[in-house]
Amino acid sequence: MTQPCTDVLIIGAGLAGLATALHLAPQRCVLLTAGTLQAETLWREPASGWAQGGIAAAVSPADEPCRHASDTIAAGAGLCDPDVVAQITAAAPSAIEWLVNQGVPFDREPDGALALGLEGAHGMRRIVHACGDSTGAEVMRTLAAVAARTPSISVLERARATRIVMVDGAVAGVEIERDGVRLVLPTARVVLATGGVGGLFARTTNPLGSYGQGLVLAARAGARLRDLEMVQFHPTAFDLGGLDPMPLISEAVRGEGALLVTADGRPVLDNPLAARDVVARAVFASLQRGEQVFLDARDAIGAEFPDHFPTVTAKCRAAGVDPVTQLIPVSPAAHYHMGGVLTDATGRTTAPGLWAVGEVASTGLHGANRLASNSLLEAVVMGTLAARDIAGVPESGFGGAASPLAAIAALPDGGRQLKGTDRPEARLRRDMFAVVGVARDGATLGPLVARLQDEVVARRHAGSGDAFEAVPIATLAALAIAWSALRREESRGAHTRTDFPAPGIAAHQTLVLEDLLLTETLTGGLR
């Protein structure tokens, strides 16, 4: 079924999607969400609402955006784009001001100044937070309420995008599934704001519904992907009771003095506020030696813990651990994807008519390792910049098609998706964490890539229409990440190869969908 032509279609209602929609106003847009836009519940669905730490911004009189930029580049291990870093860090104070004007209740000092926290690899306190460790939830509640009363934003709830329709090489519409009905929404401008890939891993701090949907939508539309092997593992996920996903223990806890220790009290590393990749490797190494790792906040924070970190406190106590008086068991878990759909500084992808914002995008801000609390910042700033860019693009275009509606209506209805097979199976999640986790090697990556390639080939032969559309989203996303990890024969940032422990020449790695079935020797693939 083909629906009347829409204006801008935004896929995803996390912070990046909401920021884009609000900055497009009064230009009309449709916000597509798999959940609902109810302010009281929306924060639970996208990963944005789970963010604890806060938003990094040089808002202190003692701070400067150039210092924020320098810390970002240092953490990024050679793969940051300095121009993009400068652009986003310079825009950070304005982003905070915009959020304040929307009504976000950021925490403040007694004199009214914004309260600023410290997190790993930051040279000074610059983390703006709300309700202690509930920043993401508060930001999402606020912006969802603003969006709900913005006339230019139409919301399509309980719907998922299954395909971006391309006509003559440009975006012409989006195929969606809602309540078992297939719809095609014609539009020449689409924004991907679908989040990350954490649900692909057996140990994750992300919503399980995030497993690379945006990557696959973009790749099937012909867009280029970049640095997919760069998956950040947070070093302190709460490791008790087999919880899935694993509750996050905010880096801000270490910012207030908590230490990482073994059961006998020995420090796991000298600097608990080092960059996340460094801390995650240290924690992982201890676990591999059979040593349990704990976060010890008893002396540094003690009785003040519940006031500073109410979310963490509630999750710990629900599992029978009191962080005021007890050690908190932790281990690394998949947390954030630095790789993604390649974009320019305005969010444009290599597919005409397609933008990407937030975690699904690879802008060049994060490089090989994201600096703490730069994720929500990027979502707000890039949503703003993408909206400005989109506003200058004509509503029509459709790749030059004389009759885009007719072209879309003529598409076959069946055979594009195997219903019920998109989500990752338990085996795939276990294999992704074990093989493409904190430490990787070619001896295990190679067989995993080969197995997933075989599955893709078998699914393609069983399907119809587009050669890749019969392949489950999770399978394609996992293959893309594992294949990229196999090709990068070096250790850099979040990507650690035990068989290639030294860094090579800093270079990005890009791919298109067809590359995933290459079977020749996977060397020299960086370009």
Catalytic positions, written as ranges: 276
Give kind and range of the element (H or E) at residue 361: strand 361-362
Burial of 90 (0-12, 13-18, 19+ CB in 10 A): middle
- Provide the residue count of the chain: 527
d(CA 385, CA 366) in angstroms, rounded, equals 17
C-alpha angle 494-364-493 in degrees, rounded to nearest 5: 15
Q: Helices marked H in 149-261 — which ranges?
A: 213-220, 251-255
Cis peptide before 26 (omega within 30 of 0): yes
d(CA 224, CA 342) in angstroms, rounded, equals 6
Sign of the Cα torsion 356, 361, 366, 372 reads positive
Q: Which of 265, 268, 273 is nearest to 287 (CA)?
A: 268
Q: Parallel, antiparallel, or unpaired: how do β-strands 29-32 and 153-156 relate?
A: parallel
d(CA 28, CA 246) in angstroms, rounded, equals 38
Burial of 288 (0-12, 13-18, 19+ CB in 10 A): exposed
Are the C-beta atoms of residues 398 and 172 closer than 8 Å to each other? yes
Contact partners, residue 403, CB within 8 Å, separation at least 6: none
d(CA 302, CA 322) in angstroms, rounded, equals 10
Task: Give residue for tokens 């090697």.
Answer: 441
Residues 221-245: b if buried by 16+ CB within 10 A, e if exposed: bbbbbbbbbbbbbbbbbbbbeeeeb
In sequence order, what are the beta bridge partners of 128? 55, 116
Cis peptide before 245 (omega within 30 of 0): yes
Are the C-beta atoms of residues 468 and 509 closer than 8 Å to each other? no
Q: Six-digit token pair at 401? A: 């098609």
d(CA 129, CA 136) in angstroms, rounded, equals 9
Query: Hey, is 416 helix, strand or coil?
Result: coil
